[in-house]
Copies of this chain bind each other. A is one copy, B any other.
Amino acid sequence: MDERRAAVEEFSSVRLNTIGSCPFDPILAEKNIENMIGTTQIPLGFVGPLKVDGDFAQGEFLVPMATTEGALIATVNRGTAALTASGGARIIIIKDEMTRAPVFRVRDVRHARQVVMWIDEHFDDIRKVAESTTRHGKLLSAKAFANGRSLFVRFAYHTGDAMGMNMVTIATQAASELIEESTGAVLVSVSGNFCVDKKPSALNYILGRGKLVLADALIPREIMEDKLKASPEVVAETCYRKNQIGSSMSLSYGFNAHVANMLAAIFIATGQDPAQVVEGSMGTTTAEVVDGGLYISLRLPSLEVGTVGGGTRLPCQSEALSMMGCLGAGKAKKFAEIVTATCLAGELSTLAAQAKGELASAHKALGR
């Protein structure tokens, strides 16, 4: 690593001292990166205690966030305080599937129909082949979508506590080869952009990918005014004009204020794939005045996280997951619930701040 970095320094005529001062043994990262020359250090802070009332996460948590965006943690923390004072965020996970969708070339639409029928009739065989490549992945379904000479088959898997992209790619490759041999369909690509990974899509906004999570809370009026200095009415109006009308006017796939901010900061802190913030950003936040307080909800259709594998194995990232009791097997759903609760806190706080006209002044004061 040091030699490589020296070569880069020479090529660039730049000293990379801070990058070079890696506080952990680089060998630990050998499965995570190639051409390593050091590390990037991202400031790490936290929000909380945040009370989460989920099926897997129960209690109060400190949530690590790695960010360089001044004011972000302060903002989320105000929402955290309001949520916790109100009894916490209620969270439910209603779907949990990771998908991979190869595209095949077929001869024509009749051939497409034959292939689809073959897949339906041989689903058990396909499942066996797919699952033979993995210890944890379970194939749930394989649904075909045809369009002329292109045939997309969307494989959906349970992937245990791994985010699972790697696992499902290998399994789907094996399954696709079986389909290819048996039907004459030609595998063009194991990913046909009908998965859809790391791109925003209507498909996953509607049907979900990874974990589809719902969250909500009812914030009593006095907590709104005490902690957030905003009435339920003005926050509900802000949410309506911004998240519903505004996002419809721009035809956005994100009907929220800034979910991506919380996701990016937690994903980086905990070793998730930060490019999957893309589909994570497709959330919907709604707010209504209920019983004199503010009802606020968040729907995250495509939250793709894991607590084993990938970046979670690295030292800092492991510690960050451990802070929430979320490291390792059996923790992915708990972690997804805490992430979603944190997003809800961030939404609540920012909507309140924007409702009060404070967004600009917060940035001024905290020197973002």
Contact = CB atoms under 8 A, between A and B. Distances in A.
Most buried by B among A145, A146, A258, A263: A145
Contacts of A254: 193, 196, 198-201, 278
Contacts of A191: 242, 257, 354, 359
B202 A202 contact: yes
A230 to B, nearest CB: 12
Interface in A1-29: 8, 11-12, 14-19, 21-24, 26, 29
A172 B21 contact: no
A256 to B, nearest CB: 7
Contacts of A277: 264, 274-275, 277-278
B244 A68 contact: no
B200 A203 contact: no
Contact of A206 (B188, B250, B276): B250
Contacts of A45: 33-37
B368 A310 contact: yes
Residue among A68, A113, A361 with max Cβ neighbours from chain B (10 Å)? A68
A154 B363 CA distance: 20
A354 B214 contact: no
A346 B263 CA distance: 24
Contacts of A246: 101, 103, 150, 152, 192-194, 196
Given A68-B32, A200-B282, A8 B251 contact: no
B281 A148 contact: no
Contacts of A307: none
Contacts of A109: 90, 92, 214-216, 297
Interface-centre pick from A19, A263, A323 (highest chain B CB count, 10 A): A19
A17 B24 CA distance: 10
A320 interface: yes
Contacts of A290: 149
B275 A216 contact: no
9 contacts: A19-B320, A33-B44, A35-B77, A68-B311, A94-B146, A172-B360, A193-B250, A196-B254, A264-B274
Interface string A32-72: 11111111111111110100000000000010101111111
Interface string A108-149: 111011001000000000000000000000000000011111
A133 to B, nearest CB: 9
B12 A322 contact: yes
A324 interface: yes
